[in-house]
């Protein structure tokens, strides 16, 4: 199930990233990218898991650094990569109610939505880091047309998730 990894240009100014070692930063970005390779059921392919496990074991200092700054969370049997608002977002394609993959939003439609919403987040009014959001999420059966789109800044969009 392919998707996208979005890393903010402000990533290296984030306190957690600043405190992590350079090797830890690379391991964290690699782990984020590997999360993008999940299968339809949301699991990682076995070869990806083996590669990440090997890298985490061989880079114990980097792993320890990520745990210390909170970019990895030890859950006993596995490491979790928590959402870090404003610096990284993983977007995996989800299948809609009809079993189809969500289509992309053309630049023309995207700019029309931004213009309609005054080039500002409809929740907080920010004009920074704008994105297009489904009002009724695609994963919950929401339509993929302009009437179901709204402009949100990345922090508001990330906090909204798949809620209406």
Q: Which domains does the chain have, with CATH numbers?
A: 3-90 (no CATH), 97-160 (1.10.30.50)
Task: Pick the most confident of 28-37, 96-105, 122-131.
Answer: 122-131
pLDDT digits (tens, 9 = 90+) for 101-120: 556 788 888 899 999 999 99
Measured CA distances, 104 to 82, 113, 138, 154 (Å): 26, 14, 12, 18
Closest CA to 164 of 137, 146, 127: 137
The 8-class DSSP code of residue 119 comes to T
Measured CA distances, 99 to 10, 95, 139, 164 (Å): 36, 5, 10, 20
């Amino acid at each position: 199930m392919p998707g996208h990894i979005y890393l903010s240009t402000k990533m290296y100014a984030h306190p957690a990233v600043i405190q992590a070692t350079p090797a830890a930063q690379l391991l964290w970005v690699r782990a984020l990218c590997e999360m993008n390779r999940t299968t339809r059921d949301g699991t990682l392919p076995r070869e990806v898991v083996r590669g990440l496990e090997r890298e985490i074991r061989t880079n114990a200092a980097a792993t320890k650094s990520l745990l210390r700054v909170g970019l990895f969370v030890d859950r006993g049997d596995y490491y979790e990569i928590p959402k870090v608002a404003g610096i990284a977002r993983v977007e995996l394609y989800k299948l809609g109610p009809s079993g189809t993959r969500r289509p992309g939003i053309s630049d023309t439609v995207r700019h029309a939505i931004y213009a309609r919403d005054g080039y500002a987040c409809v929740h907080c009014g920010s004009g920074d880091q704008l994105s297009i959001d489904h009002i009724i999420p695609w994963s919950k059966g929401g339509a993929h047309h302009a009437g179901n789109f709204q402009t949100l800044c990345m922090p508001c969009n990330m906090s909204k998730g798949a809620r209406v």
